[in-house]
Amino acid sequence: MKVLGIESSCDETAAAVVEDGCRILSSVVSSQIAIHRPYGGVVPELASRQHIKVIIPVITEALQRAALNLSDIGAVAVTQGPGLVGSLLVGIGVAKAIAYSTGKPLVPVNHLEGHIQAAFLEEAPASFPCIGLVVSGGHTNLYYVEDHGRSTLVGRTRDDAAGEAFDKVAKLLNLGYPGGMVIDTLARKGNPKAISFPRAYLEKDSLDFSFSGIKTAVVNFVRRYVDVGEADGQQPGEQSLKSAKLLPVQVADIVASFQEAVVDVLVQKTCAAAQQFRVRQVVVAGGVAANSRLRRRLEEEVGRLGLHLQLPKPELCTDNAAMIAAAGFHKLKMTGGRWDLDFDAISRWPDLPGYLPDDRPK
Ligand code: KG4
Ligand code: ZN
């Protein structure tokens, strides 16, 4: 069955056609980076307006690239949440219109379940049971994944998500937007051992994360060496690295050391979860899974344990609609149902990914 996936939970408008939950026939992503860059972060109102502008062309292009018409599609899957409510509503509205006019089933999908599904879109897909690390701008979650849509949350961040920490540190250092990718590139020129930022491993055997301490340590380190005030025409309180003549290390060293601290914790907890739950397989997804240092370290450490690591291609780690189409296909198959068209966006989804306890077809 060919499923049309639609994703608009944050700042990417995406549509894709996926066959049988595993073969990508097309995947189109329209990024809003340039729109949000001047603000240093996603502006929800601008995000929804841009989704409205491009969603129909993006869907049309996805169908054209797959050489299909709407009549060839077996079902439509759309991200229901979590995410920005105004953004989610654009995708949901269009998906409902397509489902209503074509009579095809419409499957509401959890965005995080979608991220996990990215690991099943590869040529040699992941297998169950596995440990899934979903590490993005809004989440840092570890799941014990038993089957499609059957995951138990076994660890989560108690404060900032890893991607959020990347974005905040990049903003603090005036490195530009989006932060994660900039730090990834700049860190290649730095020394990861230059500064020893704290790693929060929390209680013994805990699979939870905490990244606010690392972020604050970077803030404190930078403050020590950076003038705070009205220099360079800034507002009081703003910091400028232009006046950071006293910095004892290069900015590349700061970001490399920060990145290493985040990566150390992510890798250690993921490996610990795999050992605690005695799985043979680890899958990693979400925007931060595109990070080159994290990918290298995971390959080394998961490999050292003799386990299989499933790391989707970077373009499948960041937000896309192929993962939503795949998750929709499996949800339809597992529950065998049809959903009424009156479901709403869920901005903050309860911890469980996949199917809500009452999220059964009517
Ligand atoms: O999954 P995603 O595209 O959207 C959310 O669901 O949040 O993840 C976006 C997050 C952002 O915080 C971004 O800075 C981070 O992923 N990110 C990266 C990299 N590429 C994206 N973080 C570190 N290194 C990267 N290469
Ligand atoms: Zn995401």
**pLDDT, tens only, 301-349:** 999 999 999 999 999 999 999 999 999 999 999 888 788 999 999 999 8
140 three-class SS: strand
Ion ligand 2: residues, CB within 5 A, are 136, 319
Q: Specify whether 176 is located in the same domain as 48.
A: no
Residues with CB under 6 A from ligand 1: 10, 136-138, 163, 166-167, 178-181, 184, 286-288, 290-291, 318-319
Residue 169: predicted pLDDT: 93
Q: Domain range holding 8? A: 2-118+317-335
Nearest CA among 137, 236, 229, 242 for reference residue 180:
137
164 Cα nearest atom in ligand 1:
12
Q: Does residue 340 fall inside a structural domain?
A: no
Q: Does residue 347 fall inside a structural domain?
A: no
Q: Specify whether 138 is located in the same domain as 159.
A: yes
Residue 355: predicted pLDDT: 57
Phi, psi of 288 (to 5 degrees): -70, -20
Q: Specify whether 110 is located in the same domain as 201.
A: no
Q: Does residue 346 fall inside a structural domain?
A: no
- Specify the residue with its C-alpha closest to ligand 1, atom 23: 180
Q: Specify whether 29 is located in the same domain as 69.
A: yes
Are 261 and 221 in contact, with CB atoms under 8 Å apart? no
Question: If phi over 0 gives left and psi between -120 and 50 gives alpha, with beta otherwise, what is residue 32?
Answer: alpha
- Specify the residue with its C-alpha closest to ligand 1, atom 7: 137
Q: Specify whether 144 is located in the same domain as 84.
A: no
Residue 338: predicted pLDDT: 83
Residue 78: predicted pLDDT: 98
Q: Does residue 355 fall inside a structural domain?
A: no
Cis peptide before 82 (omega within 30 of 0): yes
Q: Specify whether 16 is located in the same domain as 135.
A: no
Looking at the structure of the chain, the number of domains it has is 2
Q: Does residue 361 fall inside a structural domain?
A: no
Number of the ligand closest to the Cα of 287:
1
Q: Does residue 258 fall inside a structural domain?
A: yes
Average pLDDT over residues 237-242: 47
Q: Does residue 354 fall inside a structural domain?
A: no
Cis peptide before 178 (omega within 30 of 0): yes
Are 165 and 214 in contact, with CB atoms under 8 Å apart? yes
Residue 67: predicted pLDDT: 98
Q: Specify whether 160 is located in the same domain as 226.
A: yes
Mean pLDDT for the chain overall: 90
Spatial distance between the Cα atoms of 24 and 313, rounded to a whole number of angstroms:
13
Q: What CATH number is attached to the domain comprising 98?
A: 3.30.420.40
